[in-house]
Amino acid sequence: MSEVTANTEPVATRERTVEGFVREYLRELNFGQGVDLSRASVNDQYLALARTVRHYLMVRWLETLRRQSELQAKSVAYLSAEFLLGRQLDNALLAADLTDIVEEGLAGLGISLDTLRQAEVEPGLGNGGLGRLAACFIDSLATMNVPSIGYGIRYEYGIFRQTFVDGWQVEKPDSWLTLGSPWEFPHPEMAVNVSFGGTVEDYEDDDGTTRKRWLPGWSVLGVPYNYMVPGYGNGRVNTLRLWSARATRAFDLEIFNSGDYAQAVRAQTFAENISKVLYPEDSTPQGKELRLQQQYFFVACSLKDFVDQVLPKDFDLTNLPDRIHFQLNDTHPVIAIPELMRILVDEKKWSWDDAWSVVRQVFSYTCHTLLPEALEVWSVELLGRLLPRHLEIIYRINEQFLVGLRAAYPDDELRARRMSIIAEFPERGIRMAHLATVAAVKVNGVAALHSQLLRDKVLHDFAEYYPGKFTNVTNGITPRRFLRLSNPGLSGLVTEVLGSEKWVTDLDELRALEPLAEDAEFRRRFREIKAANKRRLVHLLAERDGIVLDPETMFDVMVKRLHEYKRQTLKLLHVVSLYEQITSGALDPADVTPRTFAFGAKAAPGYRMAKQIIGLINAVGRTVNADPAVEGRLTVAFPANYNVTLAETLIPAADLSEQISLAGKEASGTGNMKFMLNGALTIGTDDGANVEIRELVGDENFFLFGLTEPEVADVVERGYHPTSYYETNPQLRHALDLVASGAFSDGDRSVFEPVVSNLLHEDRFLVLADFQAYADAQARVDAAYADPEAWTRSAIINVARAGFFSSDRSMRDYLDRVWHAAPVDPSA
């Protein structure tokens, strides 16, 4: 009998040849999908491809995990209720350096890689900027060799799929899991128990100490699903661990036996609801019980996982600050602070002071907003009912905090009330941002202006009390997804002229493009790439939405969540004004630069004004696009369901990026950076990261307009009267009157009355105040666009100076300023 030698090496050291890949792929199709090539559906082909590609990454993943537990280096845990990942296939192919092999191998089988790319449904596990930021950050952490893990929620339904019915938004469920999700690795055997409700009691410990004990009312299981987060070009694969809720018991057999099947499975449904659906809210918190359940659920799972599974069994938790830093992405995971206190005090039986001294060294908090209404406050009644022990802990943290505060400001009770973690009005509530700030090592804003406004306004009292705690980390975007993959034309040109792909991991390399702005041949090639990207978008939108566009027009793009502060209405009023001026004869169409005014935006389903604005954009589009008077001059395009996948084709095709929020309202923006990196010029206010973009590219390569933040504050303080702008600006008046007249609603004046009346009588975000400045800036845009050479020069300068906005740089800033951790040496 021949001897069998055990090989403990992972088997997946795959052959990196076309033939090797094809063999693996066919094996996966046959044995994984259970079909042969002649019968395989596109979905079969896609799933088999995804599994084949992940095999190639598997050795690296296992190796990363092995080394991580060996090294025990300081790690980062990024806690985020959202990870807006986008499609995975292309990114995995890039990381595994397999794209060419796979393309050729599939072609040999008569399969188009591009068709399989399109078969992937993106996991929309986030609302917009915040969730996409988390996805960029974990990509950068992996690429930079930082030991780290992402923790979040595996929503069964992500952000809703937006459709338009008669121009109005109708939400459809996003069933991203229906056709199978080949990128995830469920581990039901590693499920952890998470409790809710019940009561707290005192009891006497063995040594006579009185302690607290939480007697929960109910619990659920959290099942971890692991996702690979491959680094680019470095052999590292980090982990993203998303939690899915399951019932602790599938159903109650007693009730089932008594014949009530529906009642028997109700507990299961109840538990599984926790990870069922992402709250489709952006910039406004949802004070809903289920939302708090979600937050505690994923945080409790993650802390338990880290303490019990990731750390070695004999780990001394007093050393926790040397081993981990938990980054809280907004207030959603802030309940982690009392949860870690509970673990240390109640479960590990530490003293309060010892526990607090560790807890206050391991969390940092990123604030993402400037809108006071977006800061989460949980009612004490709700939090006490759902998490009674945590409420007690929060009260004790607050008590201790207020003692210190009153000692520092003995005669300032008003300040104590303002800063207290507990709000008394309009109902008693827990201010999660205050809790986070009290416990955090660092609190950061997400752009220079935002961090300054946090210090000066939103969290001013705290910045005075804890001067060293506040810092800035300007957001960033991953150059892998948002240039290397999404813009193959520009990416190829950059690699060619720079002589290598080093820029993909060192985006400052783009600076070397700058002299080429003066090179006519380079400009011609740059322009040709933009033109090709525009044609690619035109083709996509024709197929996807039946939208017909002319690639020869200027592509003026505003894509982001629909929110009044972002001011989609400002762009729309400008379109209406141009339309009104042309149709009334005030403007010769020949003098109007042919433009495509593109929008992409989802509105939160409960945000009525945002949905009205969507209806109005579509209504204006319908009228304008059908009117021969403006044909070839003005086109409005509003493809439904803006998501990461659409962004990847839309952004590289843009000539003009609209970043027109009211100054002092947009924390950072990341869309703005993606456009800049892809060679669009920005028309924008002095807000969020626009400020840093403009500083980098200079006024001559940026169309700045509008009130500054101090001016806005001044206008508001003096009393803002939007009607005065309406009365004194004829173009603005005519545009608003046209909307009010029912011209876009078949003569029905009532349809868009709420939008018009809101602008005229409230206009919280000063659209009318900035209208003329915006129209003037658009005239400057037209003038600049008329000179293609100068425009291209500016676009190249934008690209060349975009290096600062790499999320790799953001990670370096967090490592230095917040986490005090370092990448590990890949060769060690």
Ligand X SMILES: Cc1ncc(COP(=O)(O)O)c(C=O)c1O
Per DSSP, the three-state class of 272 is helix
Stretch that binds ligand X, among 312-320, 451-459, 666-674, 768-776 (CB under 6 A): 666-674
Q: How far is the CB of 669 from ligand X (least distance, A)?
A: 4
Which residues, numbered 586-645, are part of the site for ligand X (CB under 6 A)?
Answer: 642-644
Residue type, 623: T
- The one among 129, 384, 664, 803 contacting ligand X by CB under 6 A: 129
Q: CA-CA distances (angstroms) from residue 526 to 48, 529, 536?
A: 37, 5, 15
Q: How far is CA 54 from CA 2, 4, 107, 121, 227, in A?
A: 33, 28, 20, 17, 10
Indicate the residue type of 230: P
Query: Count H helices, E strands: the chain?
Result: 33, 25
Angle between helices 488-498 and 520-545 (to 10 degrees): 160
Tell me the Ramachandran region of residue 227: left when phi exceeds 0, alpha when psi lies from -120 to 50, beta otherwise: beta
The smaller minimum CB distance to ligand X, of residues 169 and 670, is found at 670
Stretch that binds ligand X, among 287-295, 428-436, 535-543, 668-676 (CB under 6 A): 668-676
Q: In residues, how long is the chain?
A: 828
Shortest Å, Cβ 477 to ligand X:
7
CA of residue 169 relative to chain centroid, distance: 21
Taking the complex as a whole, the smallest distance from the CB of residue 689 to ligand X amounts, in Å, to 8
What DSSP element (H or E) covers 682?
Answer: strand 681-684
Q: Are 663 and 686 in contact (CB under 8 A)?
A: yes
669 makes contact with ligand X (CB under 6 A)? yes
- Kindly state the smallest distance separating residue 795's Cβ from ligand X, in Å: 19
Q: Within positions 130 to 149, which residues make up the interface with ligand X, using CB under 6 A?
A: 132
The one-letter amino acid at 251? F
Q: Which residue has the tokens 């590292």?
A: 236
For residue 398, give both structure tokens: 């607050």
CA atoms of 293 and 196, how far apart (whole Å)? 8
H-helix or E-strand containing 400?
helix 388-408
**Is 479 one of the binding residues for ligand X (CB under 6 A)?**
no
CB 582 → ligand X: shortest distance, Å?
Answer: 29
Rounded to the nearest whole angstrom, what is the least distance from the CB of residue 678 to ligand X in the complex?
11
- By beta-carbon proximity to ligand X, the closer residue of 470 and 642 is 642
Closer by beta carbon to ligand X, 477 or else 630 = 477
Nearer to ligand X, 305 or 808 (CB): 808
What CA dihedral angle connects 423, 428, 431 and 434, to 10 degrees?
40
**Min CB(608)–ligand X separation in Å:** 21
User: What's the token pair of residue 490?
Assistant: 């520009």
Residue with tokens 């290096």: 803
d(CA 815, CA 63): 23
Stretch that binds ligand X, among 98-106, 236-244, 512-520, 664-672 (CB under 6 A): 664-672
How many chain residues interact with ligand X (CB under 6 A)?
13
Nearest to ligand X of 643, 682 (CB atom): 643
Candidate residues 105, 123, 128, 384; the one interacting with ligand X per rule CB under 6 A:
128
Query: Which CB, 135 or 359, lies closer to ligand X?
Result: 135
The answer to whether residues 604 and 614 touch, using CB atoms and an 8 Å cutoff, is no
For residue 630, the minimal CB distance to ligand X (Å) is: 27
Write out the two tokens for 240.
């993203």
Using rule CB under 6 A, residue 671 touches ligand X? yes
Q: How far is the CB of 132 from ligand X (least distance, A)?
A: 4
Out of 523, 674, 793, 801, point to the residue binding ligand X (CB under 6 A): 674
Q: Which is nearer to ligand X, 405 or 691 (CB)?
A: 691
Determine which residue in the list 68, 670, 685, 806 makes contact with ligand X, applying CB under 6 A: 670
Selected range binding ligand X among 305-313, 665-673, 694-702, 810-818, rule: CB under 6 A: 665-673
* 128 vs 621, beta carbon nearer ligand X: 128
The piece of 39-47, 125-133, 367-375, 698-706 that touches ligand X (CB under 6 A) is 125-133
In terms of C-beta density within 10 A (0-12 exposed, 13-18 middle, 19 or more buried), how is residue 783 classed?
Answer: exposed
The 545-584 site mask, x for binding ligand X (CB under 6 A), equals ---------------xx-----------------------
Gap between the terminal Cα atoms of the chain: 42
Question: Which CB, 176 or 401, lies closer to ligand X?
Answer: 176
For residue 363, what is the enclosing H or E element? strand 363-366
Stretch that binds ligand X, among 570-578, 609-617, 663-671, 697-705 (CB under 6 A): 663-671
Report residue 245 as tokens: 């809720």
Which residue, 118 or 420, has its beta carbon nearer to ligand X? 118
Tell me how far, at minimum, the Cβ of 76 lies from ligand X, in Å: 22
Smallest separation (angstroms) from ligand X to the CB of 672:
6
Helix (H) / strand (E) containing 52: helix 42-71
Q: Report how far residue 402's alpha carbon sits from residue 419's, in angstroms, rounded to the nearest whole number.
A: 9
Q: Which residue is nearest to ligand X (CB)?
A: 671
Measured in whole angstroms, how far is the alpha carbon of residue 726 from the centre of its chain? 36
Q: Which two tokens stand for residue 499?
A: 């002589």
**C-alpha–C-alpha distance, residues 651 and 636, integer Å:** 16
Instruction: Pick between residue 169 and residue 623 the one whose CB is nearest to ligand X.
Output: 169
Pairing of strands 634-637, 124-125: unpaired
- Quickly tell me which residue has 């003009």 as its tokens: 656
Contacts with 425 (C-beta within 8 Å, 6 or more apart), sequence order: none
> Helix, strand, coil shares of the chain as percentages rounded to 5?
55, 15, 30
Active site residues: 368, 560-561, 566, 670, 674
Minimum CB distance to ligand X, residue 602 (Å): 8
Please, which residue, 148 or 643, has the CB nearer to ligand X? Answer: 643
**Phi and psi dihedrals of 368, rounded to 5?**
-115, 10
* Among positions 370, 435, 647, 811, the unique one binding ligand X when judged by CB under 6 A: 647
Binding positions for ligand X, rule: CB under 6 A: 128-129, 132, 560-561, 642-644, 647, 669-671, 674
